[in-house]
Amino acid sequence: MNPSSPSAKPALELIEEAVQHVRLAPLAALVAYYAGTLPFVLGLLYFWSDMSRSPVAHQHLAEAALSLAALFVWMKFCQAIFSARMRGAITGLALDFTPATRWRILISQAALQSSGLLLLPLSLLFVIPFPWVYAFYQNLTALAAEDSTGTADLAKKALRRTGIWSRQLWRILLLLAVFGFCVLVNWSIVCFILPGLARTLLGLQSTFTRSGTSMLNTTFFAAMIGLTYLSLDPVVKTLYVLRCFYGASLKSGEDLKAELREFARVGQHAATGLILMLMLCATSLRAAEPAERETTLPAQNSVSSSKLDHEISKVIRQTKYTWRSPREMLEPDSSPNNGILTRFLASARKMLKKPLEQLSDWLNKFRRTSRPASPGSSMASQQILLFALIAAAAVALAILLLRLLRGRAPHRATLASVPIPAAPDLTDENLAADQLPEDGWTRLARELLERGELRLALRAFYFASLAHLAGRNLIRLVKSKSNREYERELGRRGHAFPQLLAVFGENVSVFDRSWYGLHEVNNELVRRFAENVDRLKAGQ
């Protein structure tokens, strides 16, 4: 299988889908997983602590190792049940675990998974074969509940699923390693600060509060690795279930069947919701009939005439009723309910009144304290002051006119040559939505709509919606993706915007019927499609 084929999903997208399925996992699947994995992790931590600290550990080493091996087989059995239930949630098919099926799963997991305790560390030493060895043992868990005649058939089927999409295996392990390291650091920080929080909030003293470095031992780090495994491994198991599911769908088309089952469930839920809504409407109408009969009864309360006249006078004096009255009939309004400009001027006048009065008092005091002069000299000084003020006003006016003339002076603008991009060929099936920006697709769609090329305008509007969603990081534009894959990706990343998903799903259905099918395209259809694109841009 070519690793770069369109059927190979990107590793990050596959991990996101696995996380989404774990978030929506049935309760029975999670109970089955942790009922098997949690006892093994606790038993392994106890074994680690006991063997590293107890002076009499050698006396019960055989019994402890045998118990740990039994817990390991039980964990792999429960993880296989979890993987089977997750596959049932993905495909929409309910699984029936008969006693014979459970016994076959237990035997196959005990026979095959035990070899992984030796082969996985050996492959990790040589690095290169590790992704295939790791994927093989994960596939054994993912495929354990499928119909099989024996353990050998399960191993062959897991080996065939391991051989597809080799590059994807490396990318998955790299992303899981980064994700697991972040989870490990978060758990370590949380558990490291818990004793300090207990002392601060509850007043509990312990060895760890007196010396924080006492926690940094091998048992602490083993516990953190165990918590990381419990947090991350359900996603890993679901990831390889999806990988096996998509690998089998290359020949069986099982992914298309799962989508059809999902649409059937949506139709059933819609019908059920419609029936419930009709029942609620009928109930509310029957309940509203007595209320309507009560409201038709004549009112018994009366209002005094003086109170009624006061309320009428108060209402007719409002601004919205008095603006048509003659100006001489209106009484001067002394209330502060004036316009914003009037209030601003009044406040400015009050603010400047006091400084101007102080300036006037200061000038009068200066004139009284200055030495006396003759009436002629006083008249001359007043004329000089007047001429100085006139000159200052003239200079200020000249400066203002000069600035206005300079602002109106024409200036030559430098013209930069901008290359005009060629319009893409919308009839080309290899055309991608990232060849033009969102505005470019919208402008091209309007032009095609004016020329009457409705199918091409519909495709341009669809590319505009894809470019908009990619700009909001709700989808990732890949040429090999189908329209339904974009819709599922929007459902995972934009689950907080259900109306957005509904509008985009409607446009996907219209586009598939019109572009790939024989559905007639008319002006009304394109207009409604464009309105949905505008709703996507508005974030509705």
pTM (2 decimals)?
0.48
Neighbours of 154 (CB within 10 A): 23
Place 449 in a pLDDT band, splitting at 50, 70 and 90: confident
Compute the average pLDDT of residues 263-273: 57
Neighbours of 56 (CB within 10 A): 8
Give the whole-angstrom CA distance, residue 468 versus residue 335: 53
Asked whether the predicted pLDDT for residue 490 surpasses 60, the reply is: yes
Flag whether 190 is in a domain.
Answer: yes
Give the whole-angstrom CA distance, residue 325 versus residue 411: 54
Q: What confidence tens digit (pLDDT) does each residue in 70-119 have?
A: 999 999 889 888 888 888 888 777 676 788 888 888 888 888 888 888 88
Q: What confidence tens digit (pLDDT) does each residue in 241-258 have?
A: 888 888 777 766 665 565
* CB-CB contact of 465 with 487 (8 Å): no
pLDDT in the model for residue 224: 87
* CB-CB contact of 148 with 80 (8 Å): no
Flag whether 275 is in a domain.
Answer: no
More confident residue, 479 or 444: 444
Asked whether the predicted pLDDT for residue 329 surpasses 50, the reply is: no
pLDDT in the model for residue 5: 46
Give the whole-angstrom CA distance, residue 255 versus residue 87: 11
Asked whether the predicted pLDDT for residue 266 surpasses 60, the reply is: no
Flag whether 505 is in a domain.
Answer: yes
Give the whole-angstrom CA distance, residue 62 versus residue 347: 93
Flag whether 362 is in a domain.
Answer: no
The packing angle between helices 166-202 and 218-252, to 10°, is: 140
Asked whether the predicted pLDDT for residue 4 surpasses 50, the reply is: no
Compute the average pLDDT of residues 42-49: 86
Asked whether the predicted pLDDT for residue 334 surpasses 50, the reply is: no
Flag whether 272 is in a domain.
Answer: no
Last residue of a domain, one of 200, 223, 257: 257
Asked whether the predicted pLDDT for residue 10 surpasses 80, the reply is: yes
More confident residue, 296 or 153: 153
pLDDT in the model for residue 40: 92
Compute the average pLDDT of residues 330-359: 65
Here the CATH number for the domain that contains residue 509 is 1.20.120
Among residues 81, 52, 80, the alpha carbon closest in space to that of 64 is found at 52
Beta strands in 190-243 (DSSP E): none
Give the whole-angstrom CA distance, residue 441 versus residue 465: 9
Give the whole-angstrom CA distance, residue 40 versus residue 116: 16
pLDDT in the model for residue 422: 64
pLDDT in the model for residue 182: 92
| 3-class SS of residue 149 | coil
150: CB partners within 8 A, 6+ apart: 108
Flag whether 240 is in a domain.
Answer: yes
Neighbours of 520 (CB within 10 A): 9
Q: What is the DSSP letter of 327?
A: G
Q: Please state, rounded to an integer, the average pLDDT across all residues of the chain.
A: 76
Last residue of a domain, one of 257, 287, 302: 257
Asked whether the predicted pLDDT for residue 332 surpasses 50, the reply is: no
Provide the residue type at 308 as one letter.
L
pLDDT in the model for residue 338: 55
Asked whether the predicted pLDDT for residue 303 surpasses 70, the reply is: no
Asked whether the predicted pLDDT for residue 299 surpasses 50, the reply is: no
* CB-CB contact of 483 with 510 (8 Å): no
pLDDT in the model for residue 181: 92
Give the whole-angstrom CA distance, residue 258 versus residue 271: 20
More confident residue, 304 or 119: 119
Last residue of a domain, one of 239, 257, 275: 257
Give the whole-angstrom CA distance, residue 194 versus residue 212: 11
* CB-CB contact of 134 with 162 (8 Å): no
pLDDT in the model for residue 294: 47
Neighbours of 404 (CB within 10 A): 9
Most trustworthy range by pLDDT among 174-188, 308-322, 503-517: 174-188
Flag whether 262 is in a domain.
Answer: no
Neighbours of 474 (CB within 10 A): 20
Neighbours of 221 (CB within 10 A): 13
pLDDT in the model for residue 147: 61
Asked whether the predicted pLDDT for residue 373 surpasses 50, the reply is: no
Residue 336 corresponds to which tokens in the numbers above? 């502060």
Name the domain count of the chain: 2
Flag whether 299 is in a domain.
Answer: no
Give the whole-angstrom CA distance, residue 272 versus residue 288: 24
Give the whole-angstrom CA distance, residue 75 versus residue 43: 11
Compute the average pLDDT of residues 492-520: 82
DSSP letters of 156-168?
HHHHHHHTS-HHH
Asked whether the predicted pLDDT for residue 337 surpasses 60, the reply is: no
* CB-CB contact of 175 with 239 (8 Å): no
pLDDT in the model for residue 407: 58
CA angle 117-33-113, nearest 5°?
20
Place 3 in a pLDDT band, splitting at 50, 70 and 90: very low
391: CB partners within 8 A, 6+ apart: none
**What is the SS3 string spanning 131-147?**
HHHHHHHHHHHHCCCCC
Give the whole-angstrom CA distance, residue 168 versus residue 9: 8
Compute the average pLDDT of residues 449-472: 86
Q: What confidence tens digit (pLDDT) does each residue in 210-225 have?
A: 666 667 777 788 888 9
- Determine the structural domain holding residue 519 and report its residue range: 433-538
